[in-house]
Amino acid sequence: KGNVLSDFGKMEEALTAFETAIKLDPKLVAPWNGKGNILRNLGRKEEALTAYETAIELDPTFGGYWFNKALLLDEMGRHGEAEKARQKARELGFDC
């Protein structure tokens, strides 16, 4: 639901949907990543970083989560950390 709402530009509603999914099962990884994406789009970068880091903590083997973190870190001007996250994404086979 969060992804669909996001596609329609309803960011606050999408955020609520992701947060509801997280409350139902905090160990589901996709809602944490989705929450990070929405928060990033809303300019809430520190919160987005926390969401991405939670996704990575739950599943450190998916390069897409590392890549999203890298993009955000670049936006935050933290380029050294971004490159480390991007390298991890590449190591996991994510084409970035």
Q: How far is the C-alpha of 68 from the C-alpha of 30, rounded, in Å?
A: 12
Looking at residue 80, the DSSP 8-state letter turns out to be H
- Cα 46 to chain centroid distance, Å, stands at 11
- Is the CB of residue 15 less than 8 Å from the CB of residue 35? yes
pLDDT in tens, the chain (96 residues): 999 999 999 999 999 999 999 999 999 999 999 999 999 999 999 999 999 999 999 999 999 999 999 999 999 999 999 999 999 999 999 998
pLDDT for residue 96: 84
